[in-house]
Structures are given as structure tokens and as C-alpha cells.
Amino acid sequence: MPQRAAPSIVIAHRGASAYLPEHSLAGKAMAHAQGADYLEQDVVATGDGVPIVFHDLYLDALTDVASRFPGRARADGHYYCVDFELEEIRSLGLHERIDPASGRPRFPGRFPPEAARFRIPTLAEELAFIRGLNHSTGREAGIYPELKAPAWHRQQGIELAPLVLAELDAAGYLAPGQKVFLQCFDADELRRLRPALPAGLPLIQLLDRQALRSLDLQAIAAYAQGIGPPLTALADFGARPPRATGLRAAAAAAGLAVHAWTVRCDALPEGAGNLDALLRMLCGRLRVEGLFTDFPDRVRDWLAQEPG
């Protein structure tokens, strides 16, 4: 059995989102306590240009926006973050992800949507919160912000990247030696930003199905330090036994790290078996450098028990 790569970093996907609502500060605190190496921040903008930590462009599945602001949806039925100012966003209750049509939770075994009320943090608030946790615990967790749909934001009259970079700079994360990765699905945006960013700030090119169909790893290596593919792009779990696709080896040949998404114990890839089998493939055989996970504790425990 090949040994796992060192280091293999644990990236808390939207926090400890298997246990507390995604991107709640409570969920980030739990992920920090569970030993995550990095805490992820998806970032979108409010209508008054404030970066907030929230995954979706619209508020429907994660907040009580429909009951608090009836009639504010667009023609497509969605309540977009950019159509609300920060003070309105602050008034919303944040809860576990649900299907807005049925009201049922996406993951029934997770934190009950009706159990408690959380709120959406601004990026500045979350960065200060993480610095506080690092200070009080003596254990430094890094940050892993994602620019969400920058081209879409631009169509709405908001330049997202400068807003996010200003907050990172104010919090000291653009200084040399900081534990930070910046990620985005938009390759044009990362290429545009690269010359203006500190040379030491690592960029991660996220990959979706469309990007995987026309993948040019050498081109990505010209501006990014790594790729973020889905688990199923790295291994064919339908094969018996599961086999590597070749993406991991090709990325290594191009000098790119691999940070794969997303390990969910309650939604493993079909055919992957159990968590142990999945992690043996990803960390033992493929030796990926990082894993996004909703379960930082489970992945951290597995890595600690495996021979290094």
C-alpha cells in the first residue's frame, strides 16, 4: 500500500458543515476545534458592496428570506444576495440547507433546520473570528476563500475580487508567509488577477465538468499552484477495483497540487465503499495534497492513524 503524501491538508468545507449550518461562525469554530488545517470561505457580495461568507448567489435554501422579505424574489423565483443590503442580510436567520420547494433538509441526519438561529457573517467578521481562535488556542488554521461567480457579479455592477482582496489585505493575509489559498472556478478571473497579486499567494483553479472536458494543465500552471477537482475526476469508483483516472499523475507532472472536493461521509461517491476505502484511494494511492470535507474530524482522525 503506497503511503499517503505529507503534508495532506484537511480543508473544512464551509466549516464543520456536517454538524452545524454551513458558513456559520459556530461551524467554523467546530472545524477549528476538530483540527482542520484550513477553513473555507465562499464569498459573495451584498447590494451595497460588502463581501459576505455564503455559498449560493441566492438566499432561498439557507435562510428565512422568503418569510421575512416576501415579494423580493426575482422573476426566476430566487432571492439574490446582491438584491439585499447588509443590514437586511443581518436580519436573516441562517439554517441548515433545505429544498426550498419542500422545506426538507438536504441531509436529514445533520443539524435540524429549526433547532437554532444563526446568521450570515461578513468576510471581515469571519477573518477576525478566525484570528481570535488562532490566538486563543495557539493553533493556526489558515483560510481558503473562494471568489463566487465574479463575472456574474460584474454583470450586476459589482467587482467582487477587489472587495475580497481589500478585506484579505486589511486582515494581513496578503503578507508573506500567511496560511491562505485563493480559489475560483473562473479561469479568466484568476489569470487576470495573477499579475497584481503577491507572488507568494497560491491560487487554486477549481474544476467543474465543463473545465474537465477541455483541460489544459500546462496553461493552468502558468498562473495557479494547484487544481481543485471533484473526487470523481480523480478515480473511477464504478470500476472494480476503483482505478485512478490519470488526472492526479498529470497534475503532478505539470507541477500542480491537487485539493479534491468534497469528502462527505453521508454522501460518498457511488461505488467508493466506505470512508476508509475512499481515503485509502485519495491519500494512500493518489497522494493528493489536500481534501475538502464536511467532516474535518473524521478525515483528521484517519490521517492521524495512517502510517506517514
Q: What is the pLDDT of residues 92-108, one digit of tens each?
A: 999 999 999 999 999 99
Looking at residue 8, its pLDDT comes to: 84
Looking at residue 173, its pLDDT comes to: 97
C-alpha cell at 271: 461505488
Calculate what percentage of the chain has a pLDDT beyond 70. 97
Looking at residue 6, its pLDDT comes to: 44
Domain 9-58+120-305 has CATH 3.40.1360.10: no
Q: What is the pLDDT of residues 116-157, one digit of tens each?
A: 999 999 999 999 999 999 999 999 999 999 999 999 999 999
Q: What is the pLDDT of residues 4-49, one digit of tens each?
A: 444 589 999 999 999 999 999 999 999 999 999 999 999 999 999 9
Rounded CA separation 235/13 (Å): 20
Task: Share the mean pLDDT of the chain.
Answer: 96
Using the predicted structure, report yes or no on whether residue 2 has a pLDDT greater than 60.
Answer: no
Catalytic (active-site) positions: 13, 55
Task: Return the domain boundaries, the chain.
Answer: 9-58+120-305
Calculate what percentage of the chain has a pLDDT beyond 90. 96
Q: What is the band of 307 on the pLDDT scale with cuts at 50, 70, 90?
A: low
Rounded CA separation 128/173 (Å): 11
Alpha-helical regions (H) of 138-205: 150-155, 160-170, 187-193
Computed from CA positions of residues 43, 113, 85, 155, in that sequence, does the dihedral angle turn out positive or negative? Answer: positive
Q: What is the pLDDT of residues 262-302, one digit of tens each?
A: 999 999 999 999 999 999 999 999 999 999 999 999 999 99
CB contact at 8 A, 204 and 226: yes
Rounded CA separation 271/250 (Å): 24
Rounded CA separation 61/56 (Å): 9
- pTM of the predicted model, to two decimals? 0.96
Rounded CA separation 165/22 (Å): 22
